[in-house]
Amino acid sequence: MLIKNLGRQVPYEPTYQAMAAFTEARQADTPDELWVVEHPPVFTQGLAGKADHVLFNPPGPNHIPVVQTNRGGQVTYHGPGQVVVYPLIDLKRQGIYVKEYVFRLEQAIIKTLETFGVTGHRVGGAPGIYVKLEDPFGHSALTEPRHPQDPFRGLGKVAALGIKVSRHCTYHGVALNVAMDLSPYDRINPCGYAGMRTIDLATLGVQVSWDEVAAELAQRLESYLTP
């Protein structure tokens, strides 16, 4: 698998167009790739995205572009201090289905967080990885079932996930928050959930560089996505 570090502050739209073109052009023997990148501030809407989940986004110098995409899910934010990885994977060649692919993506994030001492959790029906805000380093499991009116009570979302599969091949991917300005999340209902708390490693007290997290996440994803 080829790992490409595209760099930091790379515009979102050309990257989106490039991975879609790569996927459309690939053949049965095209090697899989992982693209590692950081984007300038941007809101991206998935296919199920609703315009009213962008709560406010005033014009002017602090305006953040909103880009419509063909990935699953709803609105999310990308910005400086966040590691984004786009796995361009042939699932048919791997012999796995989408549900297994999502599980492997999440497992790679959980293991990356574990490297830095943080315990990540899944929440049923809500793709991504979450941490317990009161005890992000503890190892106790989440209490299930979650509160029916507030399934994210006591949790912060540290990593988001949104994928597209075309002819058994994937693009889009995962975003892990390292050390960000989290205020843009206040402008949206993250992933369509009103009031969901979003967190990054720095706020949890983990002082680690973007490069360290990018390298670790790429290595974990390569491990989980290599036949």
Q: What CA–CA distance (Å, rounded) separates 214 from 204?
A: 18
The DSSP line for 180-212 is ---GGGGGB-GGG-TT--B--TTTTT----HHH
Ranges of the chain whose pLDDT falls below 50: none
Determine phi and psi for 85, rounding to 5 degrees: -130, 130
Q: What is the pLDDT of residue 79?
A: 98
Contact 5, 34 (CB under 8 A): no
pLDDT for res 192: 81
Query: What pLDDT, on the 0 to 100 scale, is given for residue 194?
Result: 82
Domain spans of the chain, in order of start: 2-225
CB atoms within 10 A of CB 84: 23
Catalytic residues: 191
Q: What's the burial of 191, exposed, middle or buried (CB within 10 Å: 0-12/13-18/19+)?
A: buried
The pLDDT value given to residue 191: 80
pTM for the complete prediction? 0.95
| CATH of segment(s) 2-225 | 3.30.930.10
pLDDT in tens, 193-204: 888 899 999 999
